[in-house]
Amino acid sequence: MKRLHFIPDDGYTEAGYIKAKEQLYPELRFTFRPVLTELRSQHIASIEKVAADAYDRKTAAIVAEHLTQWSVLDAKDQPIPITVKNILRLKPQLFVRLYGIVMGLDGSDVDPQWNDAQKQQQDDLLCESALTNRLPGNMLLGDAEKN
């Protein structure tokens, strides 16, 4: 099986896309620095026994720290800044999906604007993830964490 990806360090960014869910939220394009496994484990341990509001704030904070841009606009089509407060205002299903992708627990949807190579890379990642029963983020980060 071919090597899917290599992430040399925490400064790497990748494109993400969440397709629209009718009556829930529009499509979302974003770039982010994937959360490395060690940090993900620390984050999960830190939220296991906290109150619900603290859980949400900590979860939104790690997403905010790792997003580098997003396509969220206000009613006047002006960009909305990436902040913990704004992430907490996302529709709940969109919030959970975005968190899953940034944390490496879920793969991005295939963006119709991606070129053929980007689409193929995402398809390969999701196929290998299903075949090996490994999380997409763990597969992407595997090479970086061996070094």
Tell me the C-alpha distance between 66 and 109, whole Å. 18
In sequence order, the 6+-apart residues with CB closer than 8 A to the CB of 23 are: none
Q: 93 and 21 in contact (C-beta within 8 Å)?
A: yes
Confidence of residue 136 (pLDDT cuts 50, 70, 90): low
For the stretch 20-26, contacts whose Cβ atoms lie closer than 8 Å and that sit 24 or more positions apart, written own/partner, are 21/93, 21/94, 24/91, 24/93, 24/94, 25/90, 25/91, 25/93, 25/94
Residue pLDDT, tens place only, 24-79? 999 999 999 888 777 778 888 888 888 988 999 999 999 999 999 999 999 999 99
Query: What's the whole-model pTM score?
Result: 0.73
pLDDT category at 105 given cuts 50, 70, 90 is: confident
Domain boundaries, the chain: 14-138
Quick check: 98 and 69 in contact, CB under 8 A? no
